Amino acid sequence: MAIILKLDEVMLKRKMSLKELSEQVGVANVNLSKIKTGKVSAIRFSTLNEICRVLECQPGDILQYTDDD
């Protein structure tokens, strides 16, 4: 099982910088950078909620499941 984070794609479509998203979500730039690059093993629902609110998207726009097979 692999979960792929597509935050960078959604941010690009919305023309939003990491700094701008960080300020609006209220999460440190470094933490959002880790989410953006997929270097996290967990994400709080409250953080995901704020990201989706700011980017006006659904969690499925940011998270994608792929089978390892």
Q: How far apart are CA 23 and CA 65, in angstroms?
A: 28
Predicted confidence at residue 69, as pLDDT, reads 67
pLDDT (tens digit, 9 = 90+) per residue, 2-61?
A: 899 999 999 999 999 999 999 999 999 999 999 999 899 899 999 999 999 999 999 999
Band (68; pLDDT cuts 50, 70, 90): confident
Instruction: Say how many C-beta atoms besides its own lie within 10 A of residue 50's C-beta.
Output: 16
In this predicted model, what pLDDT tens digit does every residue of 44-55 receive, in sequence order?
Answer: 999 999 999 999
> pTM (2 decimals)?
0.89
Distances (CA, A) of 27 to 16, 22, 31, 41, 55: 15, 5, 7, 17, 14
